[in-house]
Structure 1
Amino acid sequence: MRIIIAGAGEVGSNIAANLAESHEIIVIDTDPEKVDELTYSNDVLSIEGDGTSSVTLREAGIGEADMLIASTDDDETNLVICGTAKTLGDSFTIARVRNANFIETWDRSDGAFGADFMVSTNILTANDIVRVVGLPAALDVDPFAGGLVQMAEFEVSPKSDMAGQTVEEADRFEALTFAALVRNGDVVIPDGETIIEAGNKVIIIGRPDSIQEFSGAVASAETSADAKEIVIIGGSDIGYHTAKLLEERGLSPRLIEQSTDRAQQLAEELQKTVVMEHDATDVDFLVGEHIDRAAAVIATTDSDEKNLLVSLLAKSIGVRRAIAIVEDGEYTDLFEAVGVDVAINPREATAEEIVRLTQEGQIENLSLIEGRQAEVLEIEIDEGSALTGRPIRESMIDFPSEVVIGAITRRRDFIIPRGETIIEPGDHVVLFLATDVLPDVMGLV
């Protein structure tokens, strides 16, 4: 496809890097340094200019484009870009927005603002937070096959019984597959004799109940407790949507917001959330309100620095898990290195969601792993697939060794993939694979 990306910030650059190998990419940005950087670092055409300008869009070839992605950091600019693009061609338009009001308007009126699809960064991030909170010790969680399958990533604590076991010894769960280990930043496809070491990240794919059981086993005693006491620090839009989603799941979180006006607004809008007006960097207040007993503290202020500070304060007084929003993707690893359990970058989450939307053909869903070293794909199998009609142990001979079948669903039923399992046309298969073998795999499935 020919795809135009307007906005070469963290989101746009991430999308361009992920799509450059398989699509013709044109990136537009007003910053000449970003344009030059993208030109040299990726196989893309970069244009210095304003994406809201019809002249710039014509220069980028909007009339022949299959898709336009408006990914600047300004909601209104992205909507104007989509609207302008629609006057110049018939490309499929995607707008990245933060303000949920735009999403509500768009939902009520098909094609509003000239956008064929909208990705709400704040709602998307809140969903990521809630999925991670729901699994003790999980670093990442993604649903597949309409929720029948989950992919989850965990770090194995030195206190976990799993540390030092082989994969065969640890594989005592009914309906999940050990897809990969991550060691020192490298993705490793394990076999039964591979030893799971403390500090390894384990990526598993399986039925949600088995993933939940695994979560309890891999978590240390400090993180395996009931995750019902949740405290949100920061009444940002992400904080609000996180509280709202937790309420919908039957929880009653507490939310700390320093601004009097914002705290009052949140208290009126969140019916099951206890809103407290205070400065969350006040340790005496945190201890006095028994925040130290919380299963998780989620830092969702509008400041990366404050999110880091309150997360570390929470850990210092005994909070089991600290989850923090970090807007600058360069700081994500730093947050986790100094003690934050999970750092979530809204821009990275948004880029991954938009990459999902660009997929064609059989790919129903995907998740990017460790800077796209690997991917988890959901694929609907047809009669011509190399996986069809033979036991898995036979069909997988044709595939690269860096491919693992994680799960199968058939007419809304979960099927545990085993060597003798025969995949049928129409089945949905969730695959784990190294990204560099993706073209070979897509040629077979």
Structure 2
Amino acid sequence: MRRALIVGVNGISISVARLLINNGYDATFIVKSEHEGQVVRDVPAYVYVSDQVNEEVLDNAGIDKAELVLSFADDETNLKVASIARSRGVPVVMALVNDKENYLDRFIELGVYAIPIVDAVISKIAHYLRMPFKQLLFADELVQAYYVVISMDSPYLGDELGQLERRCGVSIPLVIRGNEVILGRDNLSIEAGDKLLIVGRSDAVVRCVEKLY
């Protein structure tokens, strides 16, 4: 069975745990108090009550065998957990970011899927109001990945996806339209409210996002 290790307890982490369990994951929580342990008592998951960045505890919780580590605590705790998970070779590490300005770049440097809370809220508002929005998802020396919401004022409304890819020299493998996830294809027309995943060389992606945003 696939294993997921979840650090921190709040409404989001509990909902994510249920989602993972319903999709075949064996979930383990690491919480910092008996009170937090009681909060997750109705979730069918293992629970460790201890220091959340204690490597011995993380070892006992099975971090070396986890396919997925998610951290929902404060930024410093999330950063330490993410660093340990990356050092142990965990394939997928995700963390909420409360203070985007001071922490986002540090998570990205670790190769962690960072989810700024403020961006998650703003992206929803931008989607409903058809306003422009962009979020950096990944970056290293060569490659960047951006999530961009197309506004009603975008000059690329009606253009085909293939045209935009060739013009910018990037790849757009996914488009989210409403509740539908669409695999990118050359003849797909761009609509207001579309959310594009843009991937490619850092310089090309930056130029493309600047044109779209």
Q: Does the C-alpha gap of structure 1 residues 431 and 396 become closer, same or farther in structure 2, counting only changes over 3 Å?
A: farther
Cα offsets for 1:34-80 (capped at 9, x unmatched): xxxxxxxxxxxxxxxxxxxxxxxxxxxxxxxxxxxxxxxxxxxxxxx
Displacement after TM superposition at 1:230 (Å): 0.6
1:257 matched to 2:31? The reply is yes
- In structure 2, distance between residues paired with 1:313 and 1:358: 39
* Structure 1, gaps ≥5 residues long: 1-225, 361-365, 380-384, 440-445
Confirm whether residue 283 of structure 1 aligns to residue 49 of structure 2: no
Q: Deviations over 1:351-392 (max 9, x none)?
A: 1111111118xxxxx863439x8735499xxxxx966xxxx6
Size of the alignment, in residue pairs?
183
Which residue, 148, 164, 184 being the options, matches 1:375?
148
- The answer to whether the 8 Å contact 2:6/2:70 transfers is yes
Question: Is the contact made by 1:293 and 1:318 (CA closer than 8 Å) also made in structure 2?
Answer: no
User: Within 1, Cα distance between the matches of 2:163 and 2:68?
Assistant: 41
Change (3 A) 1:374 1:282: closer
Please state if 1:334 is matched with 2:106. Answer: yes
Alpha-carbon spacing, 1:251–1:288, altered in 2? closer, same or farther (3 Å): closer
> Is 1:231–2:2 an aligned residue pair?
no
- Report the structure number with the largest CA radius of gyration: 1
Equivalent pair of 1:406/1:430 in contact (CA under 8 Å): no
Report SS of the residue matched to 1:256. Answer: strand
Which residue of structure 1 aligns with residue 21 of structure 2?
247
Q: Is the 8 A contact 1:323 1:341 kept in 2?
A: yes
1:295 corresponding residue in structure 2: 67
CA contact (8 A) 2:130 2:192 kept: no
Check whether the contact 2:32–2:51 (CA below 8 A) recurs between aligned residues. Answer: yes
1:238-257 residue CA offsets vs partner (Å, 9 max, x unmatched): 22122122123232311111
Q: Cα offset for 1:429?
A: 11
For 1:286 and 1:404, the matched residues in 2 are separated by 38
In structure 2, the partner of 1:354 is 125
User: Does the CA contact (< 8 Å) of 1:304 and 1:326 recur in 2?
Assistant: yes
Letter in 1 for 2:45: T
Report the alpha carbon displacement of residue 431 of structure 1 after superposing the two structures with TM.
8.0
Q: How many Å separate the matches in 1 of 2:97 and 2:183?
A: 38
Query: Over residues 143-168 of structure 1, what are the superposed CA-to-partner deviations in whole Å (9 max), with x where a residue is unaligned?
Result: xxxxxxxxxxxxxxxxxxxxxxxxxx
Retained in 2: the 8 A contact 1:406–1:431? no
State the Cα deviation string for residues 208-256 of structure 1 (Å, max 9, x = none).
xxxxxxxxxxxxxxxxxx9x21100111232212212212323231111
Note closer, same or farther for the CA distance 1:415–1:347 as it changes in structure 2 (3 Å cut): closer
- Measure the CA separation in 2 of the matches of 1:386 and 1:314: 43
Q: Report the Cα offset of residue 258 of structure 1.
A: 1.7
Give the 5 Å matches for 1:49-68: none
Alpha-carbon RMSD: 4.2
Residue 343 of structure 1 deviates from its aligned partner by 1.7
**2:77 pairs with 1:306:** yes
CA contact (8 A) 1:405 1:430 kept: no
1:25 matched residue in structure 2: none
- For the residue of structure 1 that corresponds to 2:48, the secondary structure is strand
CA distance in 2, matches of 1:422, 1:348: 26
Distance (whole Å) between structure 2 residues aligned to residue 318 and residue 352 of structure 1: 31
Q: How much has 1:313 moved relative to structure 2?
A: 2.5
2:167 is matched with: 401
Alpha-carbon offset, residue 294 of structure 1:
0.8
8 Å CA contact 2:150, 2:192 repeated in 1 = no
